Amino acid sequence: NAGVMQNPRHLVRRRGQEARLRCSPMKGHSHVYWYRQLPEEGLKFMVYLQKENIIDESGMPKERFSAEFPKEGPSILRIQQVVRGDSAAYFCASSKGEVQPQHFGDGTRLSIL
């Protein structure tokens, strides 16, 4: 049973470009969460989605960031016009239900040149 799959593992972008991060949840999981982690910090919640719906996006910047979890296919976290401050590790997690243990992917490390 495959775990949460994130790709790419590493992504390098120049300032102003777009970054697309993908997350395939565990089989049978319909809840997806995105977190961001800066060096020496804990994970910070960004957005919580269920299939085709955004449940809580209170941790996601209002501009340049968007997330989706379509009926078919992976969840996508999209960052437009990236800036140096977007450099971080982005983790995706999935769960079966709301108050269930979350299973994490190994993250995408985004570097902005």
Partner 1 sequence: SQQGEEDPQALSIQEGENATMNCSYKTSINNLQWYRQNSGRGLVHLILIRSNEREKHSGRLRVTLDTSKKSSSLLITASRAADTASYFCSLGQAGTALIFGKGTTLSVSS
Residues engaged in binding partner 1 (CB under 8 A)? 4, 6, 33, 35, 40-45, 48, 55-56, 59, 91, 93, 98-99, 101-107
State in angstroms the smallest separation of the CB of 33 from partner 1. 5
Distance CA 91, CA 35 (A): 5
In the complex, the smallest distance separating the C-beta of residue 4 from partner 1, rounded to whole angstroms, is 7
User: Is residue 93 within 8 Å of residue 37, measured between CB atoms?
Assistant: no
**Residue with smaller CB distance to partner 1, 52 or 56:** 56
For 87, counting Cβ atoms within 10 Å of its Cβ (0-12 exposed, 13-18 middle, 19+ buried), the class is: middle
